[in-house]
Amino acid sequence: MEKPLWRPDRNSQIPLHLQITEYLRDKIAGGEWTVGTRLPSQRSLAESFGVNRSTVVAALGELAAAGMIEGGRGGGTKVVNHTWGVLASTPPPDWNAYVSAGIHYPNLPAVQEINRSEFHPGLLRLGTGELSPELLPREEMSRLLRRMADHVPDLGYGEPNGDLFLRELLASRMNSQGIKASPECILIVSGALQALQLISVGLLQRGSTVLLERPSYLYSVPVFQSAGMKLQGVPMDEDGLRPELVAPYAKQYGGALLYTIPTFHNPTGIVMSQQRRNRLLEVCQKAGLPILEDDVYRDLWLDEPPPAPLKAGDSSGVVLYMSSLSKTLSPGLRIGWITGPQPVIERLADIKMQSDYGSSAFSQRLAAECLSSGMYEAHMESLRTKLGLRRQAALDSLQRHFGEGLAEWSIPNGGFYIWLKLNRTAAPRKLFDAALKQGILINPGHLYDPEAGNRIRISYAYASLDELESGLARLAEIVASL
Amino acid sequence: MEKPLWRPDRNSQIPLHLQITEYLRDKIAGGEWTVGTRLPSQRSLAESFGVNRSTVVAALGELAAAGMIEGGRGGGTKVVNHTWGVLASTPPPDWNAYVSAGIHYPNLPAVQEINRSEFHPGLLRLGTGELSPELLPREEMSRLLRRMADHVPDLGYGEPNGDLFLRELLASRMNSQGIKASPECILIVSGALQALQLISVGLLQRGSTVLLERPSYLYSVPVFQSAGMKLQGVPMDEDGLRPELVAPYAKQYGGALLYTIPTFHNPTGIVMSQQRRNRLLEVCQKAGLPILEDDVYRDLWLDEPPPAPLKAGDSSGVVLYMSSLSKTLSPGLRIGWITGPQPVIERLADIKMQSDYGSSAFSQRLAAECLSSGMYEAHMESLRTKLGLRRQAALDSLQRHFGEGLAEWSIPNGGFYIWLKLNRTAAPRKLFDAALKQGILINPGHLYDPEAGNRIRISYAYASLDELESGLARLAEIVASL
């Protein structure tokens, strides 16, 4: 559980431990910590309150004496009654049962921990799949916000498919990449993850199987599993997904959809060759197997532009195409899009209206300003240079610290990731914990492939150059010591 | 299906019908209109292309001759082949089967039609549950956007629970309404509808029953049904939900949650009395039945502030509380929030991270600016005056046109709605269609209660005063003529 954000007032006349007692009493009586809730440890409470542990012990003693909490043998302290002094006649609903009853899968524990840890200052984040704040265009955004102030977007509910101006800009952008997309066949979503969520509940039956690369980003989010679908990995090689396996796998596992990241694949960084793309389209068209193309890394090429999207070669509507501005411009914008057959887009738009009545009008308009002003292109150009330097620095550090037989890796041509292969096996959880203890947050390989225990996803996009060097040095020591 | 947004070029050398043929061919060959897709009618195509119907007929003739489309007997025109001239050897995936296979329910047809119609200019919208553009604080937003340009929010991914500054502001706001909420027990969501969506998949088992007022807004969105839950209405009277029925209904139908809008209920406008609130809390605490309090209309009081939220009287954590800025400030912001027991909030935050990685950082920061600058309070004060005038105008118009025995209604003390009861029965669909034909969009009662066929939800928040008068006059004629 997250620790409280409150702190006692050191200038108050009331003793610290009584302030804490009162605060915790209110938290329990007010229903934030219901009966059955397990309290954070004394140590962590003392830390978040900024007091000695003995002060916390005194406060907890008062609450225990009043019958509100009970220390367990080894099991920590739990809330047992929500009223002070008298046993409540009617217990509140058992929220913990509700929390575990819901349909949706929780995030993987390691992912939950990563989500939380990412906001602890001081942690060195070696695997984060996001641009470092210093790479984000703050000044340009500030300029565009000022422009937006003169053209405030419509403050009302938006159209089901999203802001028309933004859709027109995206249509013309995709056209330049070889994709023929009309604005009415584009749906604006709150990031690519929402596209996956809508597709999971909008197009597939419970029990269907989604084929995907193995490893894949998709293994790290239980979005399809929560909707009752199964994932079936298809092996890759250095040119990407192996198309000759798709039809047999689809047949054997009853695949209903193939999810692929053909360009700067997450986590391997691989770019599917043009030949493979043609072959994959052919195979899927023949099998009547729809492809979901996730193209969020396309604009992050470093050496040369990647081959055209699968969707550009799609002459029969077999490809649903999704992308986003989160990896290139600003994750906080929460703007992505899908394009594909019109009935599919309308179905997904209808579900989106039922999920959140559309994406933020401000984010949509700001995204449109970024694209229409030329800011996006200029930003991408400068970003490529900076990312290129970071990639080189990461490769140099890897060579220095892992080069002597500790690990192997390939050089990515774009995107964020290096898919590090350790030459010794370590229990992934142990490695994760050991690194975290030293202040390093890593994305272990098993998040992307249950069997890739000896892999680590390294990102050269987030940590600073200094952090990459010192973090990889320390990580190498940890790996060597395990 | 939405009509194409494209129009042929009247200055081009190429005849109009050939431009249209080419456009439609590309749409089919590019996979936007896949095999099996039904084309819009000739009339509606002619309208959207801005040409005569004969031009459309000529273009469709070319496509039919090339074997791409086929006219049905009465069933309209369908795409039958995605290549020009030759029958494609491999048909694309049957997307229409996918569209109907998904788990999530489509919106009710009438709701889909309303969603779409709301963006047709010129329609007179008598039931829209949203502030008219003229009531939205555009100028103030422009000022705040300029301020935001000097303090660009963090462009990266946000914390799982949402922007901390915004959560602190909401906590202090709720505190002033009697609700003790800590920032760590608040989750920012993209509007109240997303709160419902997260709760539906996060806290309830498939097959559970949600109790709710009958009628209720919740009947108009299949969010719980899509997650496999049932709805069971509990009767209301003029003081709101009848608490004495809650325990028996919960027992009989196995209720797992009670959803209620105790303040300016949608669609009836009813405010639950203080006595009822106390009784309802007691009943639910005793039955261990969690309450989901939807309080999005609270700040829209017109005569006097409503009683405190249920959550303010909750001493054991039986209430989950949700609200939003969509009804008061700007729907386009897409900002709402939930507060309740910490384990519940953390569960919902985890699912939100899996759905869209958090709400727009720009919307969150703008919402925080609105609250912290005092703009929100000033806006609400001026809004109340304007809404009060609108309410009076609507009541006057109703009296003029429906007063002679055509309908009955109560006077709401706040919110947006008048729940009109017609004294004659008309098939709701017939009424809806007849009104739409005359350019009037209404929200028929059966959206909120399958049996309320003789009800119409009137909103005095959206249409202008002139429109309210002329729209209600025409509506009365339609009702009288049916």
Distance, in Å, from the CA atom of B309 to the CA atom of B280, rounded to the nearest integer, reads: 12
Overall average pLDDT of the B18-33 stretch: 90
Angle between helices B342-356 and B192-202 (to 10 degrees): 100
Q: Is A150 on the interface with B (CB under 8 A)?
A: yes
Query: In which band, very low, low, confident or very high, does the pLDDT at B19 lie, cut at 50, 70 and 90?
Result: very high
Is the pLDDT at B312 greater than 90, yes or no?
yes
- Minimal CA separation from A351 to chain B, in Å: 7
Distance, in Å, from the CA atom of A361 to the CA atom of A103, rounded to the nearest integer, reads: 30
Q: What is the reported pLDDT for B280?
A: 97
Q: To the nearest whole number, what is the mean pLDDT of chain B?
A: 92
In this complex, the residue of B96, B143, B256 whose CB is nearest that of residue A343 is B96
Q: Tell me what percent of the residues of chain B surpass a pLDDT of 90.
A: 76
Is the pLDDT at B51 greater than 80, yes or no?
yes
The residue among B3, B84, B13 whose CA lies nearest residue B43 is B3
- Minimal CA separation from A273 to chain B, in Å: 22
Q: Is A342 on the interface with B (CB under 8 A)?
A: yes
Q: What is the reported pLDDT for A120?
A: 77
Q: How many CB pairs under 8 A join A and B?
A: 409
Contacts of A305 (CB under 8 A, 6+ apart): none
Q: Is B178 on the interface with A (CB under 8 A)?
A: no
Q: Is B39 on the interface with A (CB under 8 A)?
A: no
Distance, in Å, from the CA atom of B28 to the CA atom of B69, rounded to the nearest integer, reads: 9
Sort strands A209-214 and A255-260 into parallel, antiparallel or unpaired.
parallel
Distance, in Å, from the CA atom of B376 to the CA atom of B379, rounded to the nearest integer, reads: 5
Is the pLDDT at B420 greater than 80, yes or no?
yes
Distance, in Å, from the CA atom of A154 to the CA atom of A361, rounded to the nearest integer, reads: 7
Tokens 């084309």, located at residue: B39
Q: Is A153 on the interface with B (CB under 8 A)?
A: yes
Query: In which band, very low, low, confident or very high, does the pLDDT at B87 lie, cut at 50, 70 and 90?
Result: low
pLDDT digits (tens, 9 = 90+) for B185-213: 999 999 999 999 999 999 999 999 999 99
Cβ pair A130:B340 closer than 8 A = no
Distance, in Å, from the CA atom of B339 to the CA atom of B337, rounded to the nearest integer, reads: 7
In this complex, the residue of A29, A136, A203 whose CB is nearest that of residue B315 is A29
CA angle centred on B396, ends B392 and B402, rounded to 5° = 135
Residues of B within 8 A of A228 (CB-CB) are 103
Cβ pair A330:B156 closer than 8 A = yes
Q: Tell me what percent of the residues of chain A surpass a pLDDT of 90.
A: 76
Q: Which of residues 215-244 of B touch A (CB under 8 A)?
A: 221-223, 226-228
Peptide bond into B444 cis (omega under 30): no
Contacts of B189 (CB under 8 A, 6+ apart): A356, B162, B195, B198, B322, B335, B336, B337, B338, B352, B359
Are A182 and B27 in contact, with CB atoms under 8 Å apart?
Answer: yes
Task: Decide which of B115 and B302 is more confident.
Answer: B302
pLDDT digits (tens, 9 = 90+) for B338-393: 999 999 999 999 999 989 999 999 999 999 999 999 999 999 999 999 999 999 99
User: Mutation test of the interface with chain A: which of B33, B98, B116, B200, choosing the one with the most A Cβ atoms within 10 A?
Assistant: B98
Tokens 């550090």, located at residue: A397
Cβ pair B156:A137 closer than 8 A = no
Q: Which residue type is seen at B416?
A: F
Are B247 and B287 in contact, with CB atoms under 8 Å apart?
Answer: yes
Overall average pLDDT of the B157-174 stretch: 94
Q: What is the reported pLDDT for B218?
A: 95
Helix or strand holding residue B224 (H, E): helix B223-226
The residue among A416, A414, A475, A415 whose CA lies nearest residue A444 is A475
Helix or strand holding residue A418 (H, E): strand A417-422
Residues of B within 8 A of A317 (CB-CB) are 30-34, 82, 92-93, 95
Q: What is the reported pLDDT for A1?
A: 75
Is the pLDDT at B73 greater than 70, yes or no?
no
Cβ pair B1:A346 closer than 8 A = yes
Q: What is the reported pLDDT for B236?
A: 96
Is the pLDDT at B395 greater than 90, yes or no?
yes
The burial of A358, by beta-carbon neighbours within 10 Å (0-12 exposed, 13-18 middle, 19 or more buried), is given as buried
Task: Output the CA–CA distances (angstroms, integers) from residue A372 to A197, A325, A382, A384, in the order listed.
Answer: 29, 14, 18, 20
Q: Which of residues 240-299 of B touch A (CB under 8 A)?
A: 256, 285-286, 288-290
Query: In which band, very low, low, confident or very high, does the pLDDT at B74 lie, cut at 50, 70 and 90?
Result: low
C-alpha torsion A81→A86→A87→A88, nearest 10: -80
Cβ pair A341:B290 closer than 8 A = no
Q: What is the reported pLDDT for A119?
A: 73
**Cα Rg of chain B (Å, integer):** 25
Nearest CA in chain A to B130: A156
Q: Which residue type is seen at B56?
A: V
Dihedrals φ, ψ of A124, to 5°?
-95, 110
CA angle centred on B63, ends B59 and B69, rounded to 5° = 120
In this complex, the residue of B314, B331, B346 whose CB is nearest that of residue A31 is B314
Distance, in Å, from the CA atom of A80 to the CA atom of A208, rounded to the nearest integer, reads: 43
Nearest CA in chain A to B107: A350
Q: What is the reported pLDDT for B88?
A: 65
In this complex, the residue of B6, B353, B361 whose CB is nearest that of residue A107 is B353
The residue among A190, A187, A258, A174 whose CA lies nearest residue A224 is A258
Angle between helices B109-117 and A342-356 (to 10 degrees): 90
Distance, in Å, from the CA atom of B372 to the CA atom of B331, rounded to the nearest integer, reads: 19
Task: Decide which of A321 and B28 is more confident.
Answer: A321
Residues of B within 8 A of A29 (CB-CB) are 315-316
Domains of chain B with bracketed CATH: 16-101 (1.10.10.10), 109-130+378-481 (3.90.1150.10), 151-373 (3.40.640.10)
The burial of A310, by beta-carbon neighbours within 10 Å (0-12 exposed, 13-18 middle, 19 or more buried), is given as buried
Query: In which band, very low, low, confident or very high, does the pLDDT at B54 lie, cut at 50, 70 and 90?
Result: very high
In this complex, the residue of A101, A201, A206 whose CB is nearest that of residue B204 is A101
Overall average pLDDT of the B18-46 stretch: 90
pLDDT digits (tens, 9 = 90+) for B219-229: 999 999 999 99
DSSP state of B94: -
- Minimal CA separation from A477 to chain B, in Å: 30
The residue among A109, A157, A250, A32 whose CA lies nearest residue B129 is A157
Distance, in Å, from the CA atom of B227 to the CA atom of B223, rounded to the nearest integer, reads: 7
In this complex, the residue of A92, A290, A315 whose CB is nearest that of residue B285 is A92
Are B479 and B424 in contact, with CB atoms under 8 Å apart?
Answer: yes
Q: What is the reported pLDDT for A105?
A: 86
CA angle centred on A134, ends A128 and A137, rounded to 5° = 110
Could you say which residues of chain A have pLDDT below 70? 73-75, 87-92
In this complex, the residue of A32, A290, A360 whose CB is nearest that of residue B341 is A32
